[in-house]
Amino acid sequence: MKTIVCFGDSNTWGYDPATAGRYPKPLRWPSVMQAALEAKRPGEYEVIAEGQNGRTSVWEDPVGLKKGATYFLPCLESHKPVDLVIILLGTNDLKHRFGTSSYDVARGVAYLAQMAKTCEFGPGNAAPAVLIVAPPPFATLTDFAQDFEGASERSLTLGRDITAYAALKGFPSFDAGTIIQSSEKDGIHLEPEAHDALGKALAARAAELIG
């Protein structure tokens, strides 16, 4: 069985923009991904969702313990051996309090990918494969407008910068904004249709990367 760890934020956790609660497990994109992989090769994949609301890539958040880089390697070790880690971060890095550009965010996300490529938590104590996924641009911000003041414009270049920087560093990437949109309910989270499309697209990419 091949193990895939999905390391992300509230959109990996399954945040529902309509209720501020959590989608049922089958609706979340990692579960959709699992189902799509199982449909083709039953019993050969385990997809593990590691999502945390508010998680950043490398930025210390004074509001809570949200820095992904701190938990990333212990997370991978806990699921060893990991065949593939999918990193879907960047949205929270754009919060006003961090003062980041989309290029800064791209570098932060790639830093986690580099951590994965130098660890020994894959099969045979090698490194796992890595896929960097760029989140889609923001829609109109509502509930989170204050946290993300000034970030909407930077979100428009996030996919471009993350995929370009990933290519520069030799990491496979996928721009989610090419197939899905953020919800109009709050501007940053995903509707069930987007979870479905993303999970199926990433299942196809995972199959390409690890068979």
- C-alpha distances in Å from residue 7, one per residue of 17, 88, 112, 147: 20, 6, 10, 22
Other CB atoms closer than 10 Å to residue 1's CB: what's the count?
A: 7
Give yes or no for a cis peptide into 137 (omega within 30° of 0): no
Dihedrals φ, ψ of 21, to 5°? -100, -150
Residue 167 parent element (H or E): helix 158-169
pTM: 0.97
Distances 43 to 21, 47, 121, 166 between C-alpha atoms, Å:
30, 11, 22, 31
- Can you give the pLDDT of all 211 residues of the chain as single tens digits? 999 999 999 999 999 999 999 999 999 999 999 999 999 999 999 999 999 999 999 999 999 999 999 999 999 999 999 999 999 999 999 999 999 999 999 999 999 999 999 999 999 999 999 999 999 999 999 989 999 999 999 999 999 999 999 999 999 999 999 999 999 999 999 999 999 999 999 999 999 999 9
Element (H, E) at 95: none
DSSP 3-state assignment of 120? coil
Q: Please tell me the distance from the alpha carbon of residue 24 to that of residue 60, in angstroms, as a whole number.
A: 30
Domain ranges of the chain: 2-210
Which runs of consecutive H residues, i.e. helices, occur in 20-141? 29-40, 68-78, 102-117
Strands of the sheet with 2-8, listed across from one edge: 45-51, 2-8, 84-88, 129-134, 173-175
| CA 23 – CA 25 distance, rounded (Å) | 6
Closest residue by Cα to residue 194 from 204, 206, 182? 182
Homologous superfamily of 2-210? SGNH hydrolase (3.40.50.1110)
